[in-house]
Chain A
Amino acid sequence: MSVIAEHGGLAEHIHPEPQGFIRKYIFSLDHKIIGIQYIITAFVFFVLAGCLAEIIRIQLMHANGGFITPDTYDEVYSIHGSAMVWLVIIPMLTGGFGNLVMPVQIGARDVAFPWLNMISFWIFPVSGLMLFSSFLMGAPVAGWTEYPPMSLQGAAGTSMWCAAIFLVGVSSTLTGINFLVTMLKMRAPGMTYTRMPLFCWGQFATAPLLMIATTALAAALAALFMERQFGVPFYDPTKGGSPVLWQHMFWFYSHPAVYIMILPAFGIMSEVISVFSRKPIFGYRLIAFSSAAIALAGFMVWAHHMFTSGIAPYMQLPFMVITFIIAVPTGVKIFSWIATLWEGKIHLTSSMLFALGFLVLFTFGGISGVFLAAIPFDLHVHGTYFIPAHLHFVLVGGSLMGIFSGIYYWFPKMTGRYMSEFWGRVHFVLFMIGFLGTFLPMHWLGAEGMPRRVATYDPQFQGVNQFESIFSFIMTLAILIFFINALYSIRNGKKAGHNPWGARTLEWQIPSPMPYYNFKHIPSVFGLPYDFTEPLPYAHLEEELTDSPVPVGSH
């Protein structure tokens, strides 16, 4: 076609749609398929790790445990934590939603390196299987943080754990590189940085974290692996190493990692809240820049996990103050979302309900984070149940609520059908009740004197723990409803048009499910993505929803 003859650049360069099952659905190069592959795989691991969580809660029903032995219990919570962090939330939010939505939102046909994207994805299930197979050789016991010297003494599975996390880290790093290049180089004409949808800003702030922080973790893991397998002394104090070194290297990754887990969820919130309030997002620039500020400051706070570990006293203060400062951009985002609700015409869909739930739960987690940042209070609650309570409020109440919200929101885009709104609301109500009942009392348990990672505990806490366990079953039930709803809706859900929510970002302007090439003609962008009163801010979209033939590229 003439368009191709005139331009001939990457934007018009189209590979023919692949034929054959393997090319289409297994080793696919299509970012949308890879995104869905990520989401499905991560949900499979989510179910496995969720079962481990229920084993933990059953064990804690009685002060003397008795459901499983202490050693098995240690293995269970270690794998639960590792799997939820590395195999569920990070791949789901970056590889999953990032792949599914980000290239379309910036008006690209695919990510920069589709083959790299495919490799990143396929490393992930393999490393997940390796992580779970560590149970066969004696899984790691020292929690997802695996502090040496404890992890040096762990069973053979600990080395397997190192290898698995290393591999999933490689996958993250490659995804980060891929996304960053895509967003730097492949935005549609007119898609300036301040016109990118906020979900892309979330990914844009996350990609460098994935790329840089994960590599630091790879070094820490490689050293742990070498020490365990070949006796190379890095961490063993009896051979001159330092256990605190691991803590520095681990948290230098793992603190940015919590922003890897929350920034894309922030992005989802911005999309969902704006669309369902039928209003422009309030304070676009401030939200976008606070994402970048959080990502940047995220590299400067890692030692706030180590206030009790005996780092030099005057080293502690800057970490405390910078951690406090992170509360400011985070607060700005929360306030902006609440202001977006103001005078909106709010559609209380399941997706929006989860977004509102996010605001309620994540704010609580953020506030308990400020408590933890204050050294004097941290010295009291560090290593207690206050920590699991805080991290579940930000990771379940934040990231996972964001994931659910995103699934309800983009499900019509993935499949062309709605999920059941009724069961979505049931899911929301049960999940909120179960979540609050499970994790809210944990703050109190920790402050009162229950250490974390214990298989048996002081009988005075038994009542509260039983209460939590019962509510955790409610939460499990809610998630079960969600899965049934999703699986049922893939084939039987109500048909949704190409833009069921009336959203204005680019992915909603093309058919659902998205065609292989995304766009017949690369759109030009001349406005903000959230101006609901204005005409669509894109040109060259006229033919997207018609049946006119797809231009075929030269290759």
Chain B
Amino acid sequence: MSKHRGFTIVTVVLALLSIAEILYFWLMPTVEPWLPPEGGHPGDQVDWLFRFMASAAALLYTFVVGYVIYFAIAFRRRRGDSPDALGPNIHDNPKLEAAWTIVPTLFVVLLSVLSIKIWYVLQVQPANGLVVESIGRQWYFTFRYPDVNGEVTSEMHLPVNVPVTLNVTSADVIHSFWVPDMRLKADMIPGMINTIRFTPTRIGRYKIICTEFCGTGHSTMDKQVMVVEPVAQYEVWYRGWQVHNAQVSNAIPTVSSGAISLTGGSASAGQALFAQKCTACHALGPFSQRIVGPGLLGVLHDPTHPNLVDGDPATPPNVAKILQNGYTGSFGHMPDEAENGLSSKDIANLVAYLNTLKVK
């Protein structure tokens, strides 16, 4: 025993440390140091699983790291040892090996049971729930509510304590719908509908984040929020959209529309904007001088200029349309106004500037 007194002491210390960690993970009032504040059911279940796994992990990891460091120090070759000194000739220890095969296996079985139980909670359809759809687009989310025509384009409002079934899909590439506070996520896959079910229980505004790479603007696809509010306020918001969208068709629109007024564009403001927003991809050179997109010198004055990517001739309104809607297709990708951060006024300025460019 005295030979391995150090080992006993270290084991006791590690055990105490592990107990402290386990107590910490079970007794901390909220999981907020580790996860964002929880906003609903079944987020509470996920948090419970997190506490369970974190405490088991802390136990295991404390012992692994503790023993590795302790062994490396305690059993290092001492200055006095002969260079050929050998450790004891231990090949195996069937009991020990059986123990560390069987105990983790039992733990894995336990973890499987717990995970499956919580997984089952995630699959259960809430009764009398609200069914909402969300459609991922490059690079924003839209929402469809029962008995609201068309799409809700800004925030997503939900009544508190009402079970929600959310069906998600995509209109272009794969997106992902994630609300960290609800602990839930579903990929938005074109041609497929995925479903998540939850019940928001805390009033608040929660970020909706896209977690699947979806193109240039992926980084900016975290600007919309899910607003959880009392039922009365939700009703007001809901009626507002019903009225707002009363005339809207129910078909899923593919591009935003509405022509931009080009009068009053300032070429000098456009020039500054061009240097800021456009030169990364477009040269001030002939059409053939390609960086990412074609060169734009004289785009509006060159009779030999080919048609625009969408097939329209290069006229100021058509160029404005591309600036507004962007373009994605066989020629590549051009960001739209939202992603470039262009207002209608900016677009008018840019077109005015492009109009001043003439081929020498």
Question: Which A residues have a C-beta under 8 Å from some C-beta of B?
Answer: 65, 69-71, 74, 138, 141-143, 147, 149-150, 153, 155, 237-238, 242-244, 277-280, 282-286, 308-310, 313, 316-317, 320-321, 324-325, 327-328, 331-332, 334-336, 338-339, 341-348, 356, 359-360, 363-364, 367, 370-371, 374-377, 379-380, 382-384, 444, 447-449, 451-458, 502, 528, 531-533
Contact = CB atoms under 8 A, between A and B. Distances in A.
Contact of A380 (B46, B86, B97, B104): B46
A310 B42 contact: no
17 contacts: A149-B190, A153-B329, A155-B332, A244-B189, A280-B89, A324-B108, A324-B111, A327-B104, A341-B68, A342-B75, A344-B75, A346-B75, A348-B77, A356-B72, A363-B61, A377-B49, A379-B196
Interface in B151-175: 172-174
Contact of B119 (A334, A376, A380, A447): A376
Given A70-B219, A283-B92, A454-B219, A383 B100 contact: no
A74 B49 CA distance: 34
Contacts of A533: 86, 89
Contacts of A374: 49, 53, 111, 115
Contacts of A150: 173-174, 213-215
Nearest to A240: B191
B64 A338 contact: yes
Most buried by B among A327, A343, A371, A458: A343
Interface in B71-103: 71-72, 75-77, 81, 84-93, 96-97, 100-101
A143 B214 CA distance: 10
B213 A74 contact: yes
B87 A345 contact: yes
B12 interface: no
B217 A380 contact: no
Contacts of A456: 219-220
B218 A317 contact: no
A328 B88 CA distance: 27
B211 A452 contact: yes
A196 B231 CA distance: 69
B76 A286 contact: no
Contacts of A370: 53, 57, 111
Contacts of A283: 91-93, 97
Given A370-B57, A448-B35, A449-B180, A331 B104 contact: yes
A321 B112 contact: yes
B64 A280 contact: no
Given A452-B211, A533-B89, A237 B36 contact: no
B234 interface: no
A123 B185 CA distance: 41
Contacts of B262: none
A66 B277 CA distance: 12
B240 to A, nearest CB: 29
Contacts of A455: 219
Contacts of B222: 451, 458
Nearest to A364: B61
A243 B219 contact: no
Contact of B209 (A282, A334, A345, A451): A451
Contacts of A285: 92
A272 to B, nearest CB: 13
Contact of A309 (B77, B87, B187): B187
A384 B211 contact: yes
Contacts of A155: 332
Interface of B: 34-36, 42, 45-46, 49-50, 53, 57, 60-61, 64-65, 67-68, 71-72, 75-77, 81, 84-93, 96-97, 100-101, 104-105, 108, 111-112, 115-116, 118-119, 122-123, 172-174, 176, 178, 180, 183-187, 189-194, 196, 207, 209-220, 222, 280, 292, 328-329, 332-333
Contact of B91 (A280, A367, A383): A280
Most buried by A among B36, B42, B97, B194: B97
B68 A360 contact: yes
B64 A371 contact: no
Nearest to A531: B89
Contact of B189 (A310, A321, A376, A528): A310
B184 A379 contact: yes
Q: Which 4 A-B pairs have the closest CB atoms?
A: A383-B211, A237-B191, A279-B87, A344-B87
Contacts of A447: 34-36, 180
A286 B72 contact: no
Nearest to A309: B187
Contacts of B61: 363-364, 367
B200 to A, nearest CB: 15
Contacts of B89: 279-280, 531-533
A456 B341 CA distance: 14
A74 B85 CA distance: 54
A310 B194 contact: yes
A363 B61 CA distance: 7
Nearest to B215: A150
Contacts of A278: 77, 85-87
A285 B86 CA distance: 22
B46 A377 contact: yes
Contacts of A277: 75, 87
A279 B87 CA distance: 5
B318 to A, nearest CB: 22
A274 B208 CA distance: 51
B111 A238 contact: no
Contact of A341 (B71, B216, B217, B218): B71
A306 B73 CA distance: 43
Contacts of B186: 308, 310, 379
Nearest to B113: A321
Contacts of B216: 70-71, 74
A194 B60 CA distance: 30
